[in-house]
Structure 1
Amino acid sequence: MKKVFFCCCPSLSPSRETASFYLLSVLIALYMLAGAAIFSSLERPAELKAHQLWETRLRDFSHEHNISCEELKSLLRHYEEARTAGIRTKQGRALWDIPGAFYFVGTVVSTIGFGVTAPSTVTGKVLLVFYGLLGCSATILFFNLFLERVITLLSLLIFWCHRRTGHSGLEGRASDVNKNEEWKPSVYQVTLILFVVVLLVACGAASLYSTMEGWTYMESLYFCFVAFSTVGFGDFVSGQREHHENTWAYQVANCLLMLLGVCCTYSLFNTISVIIKQGLNWMLRTMACINCQRCSLQGCKVG
């Protein structure tokens, strides 16, 4: 339903959906600016300290081994290029065997994109464009179908719990049946259940990753959020150690946890977006009421 806001100029006022879009754009921009300020204040000092430490180590190494800094930096640039092909100072598992390539395409179609593995050939880069176009589209469809089934299952579960907690007396049965037919689960209830499910999956996965990868539990939880939300920074990547080539059970568990975590987190994001939209509509109604009251006061003064 579209309603007209701003009673002073109804012909120029936008529809509710358009107003929600503009308001959300402004709020996202403000949210990003606030996040940039916070993370800059937290991370910028560490970045400057790391730069100073690196320059000191570079000068010391150059002086100790009688190598010019330019030659050393040239070697490091070549190494940065070699990292794309999977070259590491510490030996890890093969990146482009069948299991490694399967892990790579999984990060592509799920849009995680850790960045640890990337095609280095021109043919591979061109193929990736078309492969990702179809694969990402199909995966988004899969996520949407998964979301529909999760919402249906949770709605039935909540409805069953609602009926179980209802009155069972003979006098109130007719009214209870009518209430149950009209009753629908709240988006807040569904969001809460999804949040608990995502939390349980993340905590269980973090226990596995902290054991297999040697990370702390907090690092494992951080990795779970980055991976399940498909942000995929690449600072932590699971299953890349050399001894993981022979742990097939862990590789399978890792893929299943990734799939389950991404699906559940995608569903949670969708329900949260519904709540955000409800908040935007409330803000717009509040602004419209304030504006109408102001117009009424102005009309009274003119009269």
Structure 2
Amino acid sequence: MGMKEMFNLARVPSILLLGLLYVAYVLIGGVLFWKLEGDLGEKDISDLLMNKRKLLSTYTCLDQEGLEEVAQVIQDAFKVGLSLKGNSTTDGFWKFTSSAVFAATVVTTIGYGNMSPSSTAGQIFCVFFALFGIPLNMVVLNRVGKYMLVIERNIFDFLQEKINRERCTGFFIHLVSYLSGALLFFIVPMLVFHHHEGWTYSEAIYYCFITLSTVGFGDFVADNNPDNVYPEWYSVLMASWIFFGLAWLALIINHSIDILERLDAHVKQWWGGHRQEEKENRNLDGEEKVKQPPLTC
């Protein structure tokens, strides 16, 4: 295969354009995060240092070593889900319901980081559990997403027979699918988290997307506050919301990928047609020059 076949003129520009767009998107995102969060991060650090000095000056019996020991106790208590506000004890994180939610975050690759196995047996089991659970989760989510797509297409075919307008029907079906999914997996959970976790609406909607996109920063985690008393159904609702929400968001992402691929195909078609037109124009110009008689004095 020659170099011309390997580097097809209709494909190389689109690949380069897509690569440049990706790099520019990441760099612009980095700049915006830097500008939006950089000053706040510096302010948080200065406030923390000031509070540290104030704490050491208030409790004179507490030195740097003692402060580090207190911080270690707080960190260990947070890791196992215990509250230090009172003398009462709780079950911690590792009860059945929260352990089941943790297992769901492992196989879905969310991985908040708020809880993790600390025993050697638990860590080894987590490796093998994730090794087989992640592919199984992908297969099941793919199958559920296909069923959702089949339902959507059946509704589309039914309405198309009644209305006989393919474009309007398709747009309406996609719109209803997006809006119903946003209501079930974003708006309703946002209200639930606002009520049970005490988060603001912006924090709750932020948590919903970070979870369902499997980014899982871990700065906000539901069913994680040891000072709250959660109802028994809360963990079950959490696991169900994560599973079906992931399937729905995967369907939305597939639609978005399809749109981008169609856009890329249009760009390739336009670029190929444009180059073909230039080639034909050059051939016509060459033929006209050949047909012109030589100039005589």
What TM-score range do you get, normalising by the shorter chain?
Answer: 0.7 to 0.9
Query: Could you say if the C-alpha distance between residues 285 and 191 of structure 1 is closer, same or farther in structure 2, counting changes exceeding 3 Å?
Result: same
Aligned to 1:155: 153
1:188 deviates by: 6.0
Measured on the aligned residues, the alpha-carbon RMSD in Å equals 3.2
Q: Which amino acid aligns with 1:117?
A: M
Bigger Cα displacement from structure 2, 48-57 vs 19-28: 19-28
Aligned to 2:175: 192
Aligned to 2:116: 118
Say which SS state the counterpart of residue 117 (structure 2) adopts: coil
Does the aligned pair in 1 maintain the 2:110–2:215 contact within 8 Å? yes
1:142 aligns with 2:140: yes
Residues 170-189 of structure 1 mapped to structure 2, 5 A cutoff: none
Kindly tell me the number of residue pairs found equivalent between the two proteins: 280
Q: Which amino acid aligns with 1:60?
A: K
Alignment partner for residue 206 of structure 1, among 190, 199, 222? 190
Alignment partner for residue 236 of structure 2, among 249, 252, 269? 252
Aligned to 2:57: 63
1:108 deviates by: 0.6
Alignment partner for residue 36 of structure 2, among 42, 48, 63? 42
Does the aligned pair in 2 maintain the 1:205–1:224 contact within 8 Å? yes
1:222 aligns with 2:220: no
- Render the CA deviation track for 1:209-255: whole Å, top value 9, x for unaligned: 11111122222211111112111111111112347666112222222
Does the aligned pair in 2 maintain the 1:151–1:190 contact within 8 Å? no
Unpaired segments ≥5 residues, structure 1: 1-8, 167-179
Counterpart CA distance in 1 for 2:239 and 2:149 is 24
Aligned to 2:127: 129
1:87 deviates by: 5.1
Counterpart CA distance in 2 for 1:15 and 1:133 is 42
Query: Could you say if the C-alpha distance between residues 282 and 73 of structure 1 is closer, same or farther in structure 2, counting changes exceeding 3 Å?
Result: farther
Between the aligned residues of both structures, percent identity stands at: 21
Q: Which amino acid aligns with 2:121?
A: T
Aligned to 1:72: 67
1:154 deviates by: 0.3
Query: Could you say if the C-alpha distance between residues 21 and 83 of structure 1 is closer, same or farther in structure 2, counting changes exceeding 3 Å?
Result: farther
1:164 aligns with 2:159: no
Alignment partner for residue 222 of structure 2, among 238, 241, 253? 238
1:109 deviates by: 0.9
Counterpart CA distance in 1 for 2:138 and 2:145 is 10
Counterpart CA distance in 2 for 1:133 and 1:17 is 37
Query: Could you say if the C-alpha distance between residues 246 and 220 of structure 1 is closer, same or farther in structure 2, counting changes exceeding 3 Å?
Result: closer
1:272 aligns with 2:267: no
1:134 deviates by: 0.7
Residues 77-92 of structure 1 mapped to structure 2, 5 A cutoff: 79-80=74-75, 83-86=78-81, 89=84
Counterpart CA distance in 2 for 1:102 and 1:272 is 32
- Render the CA deviation track for 1:160-189: whole Å, top value 9, x for unaligned: 1111113xxxxxxxxxxxxx9xx7999866
Query: Could you say if the C-alpha distance between residues 21 and 43 of structure 1 is closer, same or farther in structure 2, counting changes exceeding 3 Å?
Result: same
Aligned to 1:27: 21
Query: Could you say if the C-alpha distance between residues 240 and 207 of structure 1 is closer, same or farther in structure 2, counting changes exceeding 3 Å?
Result: same
Query: Could you say if the C-alpha distance between residues 245 and 203 of structure 1 is closer, same or farther in structure 2, counting changes exceeding 3 Å?
Result: same
Alignment partner for residue 103 of structure 1, among 101, 111, 134? 101
Does the aligned pair in 2 maintain the 1:84–1:116 contact within 8 Å? yes
Q: Which amino acid aligns with 1:51?
A: I
- Render the CA deviation track for 1:266-301: whole Å, top value 9, x for unaligned: 111111111111112222233333444455566667
Counterpart CA distance in 1 for 2:77 and 2:138 is 33
Bigger Cα displacement from structure 2, 154-163 vs 12-21: 12-21
1:61 deviates by: 1.6
Say which SS state the counterpart of residue 114 (structure 1) adopts: coil
Unpaired segments ≥5 residues, structure 2: 290-297
Does the aligned pair in 2 maintain the 1:109–1:136 contact within 8 Å? yes
Query: Could you say if the C-alpha distance between residues 82 and 24 of structure 1 is closer, same or farther in structure 2, counting changes exceeding 3 Å?
Result: farther
Counterpart CA distance in 2 for 1:37 and 1:164 is 51
- Render the CA deviation track for 1:38-96: whole Å, top value 9, x for unaligned: 11110111001101111111122223323444653465356546644445556876211
